[in-house]
């Protein structure tokens, strides 16, 4: 039962982190573009990340396709790793959300087979 709670809490936190960043990207567009430029990324990445983050949340929560859900987890993994790296290189201290998201992602992925009816072949066995 504790693993089910761990899954749902971590998955909720992960999805809220992604939805909060999408909201920030939409409401603070010019500031986000400037932040991307300061980190060395092109400004059009904002639009790409809005779509990718929304689709990732939908894939993880809906689990209509296990392969797509696992692909979303992989995308989130690499996104969080790159975000952490970019903020460390910039020295701006903005890496904390990436670390928290990474922890939530690992817990969510590793406990998903306990809480969901459709099992992933890549997560831990129940």
- Tens digits of residue pLDDT in 20-60: 999 999 999 899 999 888 888 898 999 999 999 999 999 99
CA 35: distance to chain centroid? 19
DSSP at 43: T
Summarize pLDDT for 51-99 with one digit per residue, the tens. 999 999 999 999 999 999 999 999 999 999 999 999 898 888 888 999 9
The values of phi and psi at residue 94, to 5°, are -85, 15
Q: Give the closest residue to 52 by CA, choosing from 29, 65, 71.
A: 71
């Amino acid at each position: 039962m504790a693993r089910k709670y761990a899954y749902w809490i971590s998955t909720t936190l992960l999805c809220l982190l992604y939805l909060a960043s999408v909201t920030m990207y939409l409401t603070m567009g010019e500031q986000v573009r400037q932040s991307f430029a300061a980190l060395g990324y092109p400004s059009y990445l904002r639009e790409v990340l809005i779509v990718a983050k929304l689709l990732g949340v939908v894939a993880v929560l809906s689990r209509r396709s296990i392969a797509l859900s696992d692909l979303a987890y992989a995308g989130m993994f690499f996104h969080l790793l790159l975000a952490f790296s970019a903020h460390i290189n910039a020295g701006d201290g903005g890496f904390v959300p990436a670390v928290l998201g990474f922890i939530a992602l690992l817990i969510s992925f590793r406990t998903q087979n306990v809480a969901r009816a459709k099992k992933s072949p890549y997560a831990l066995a129940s």
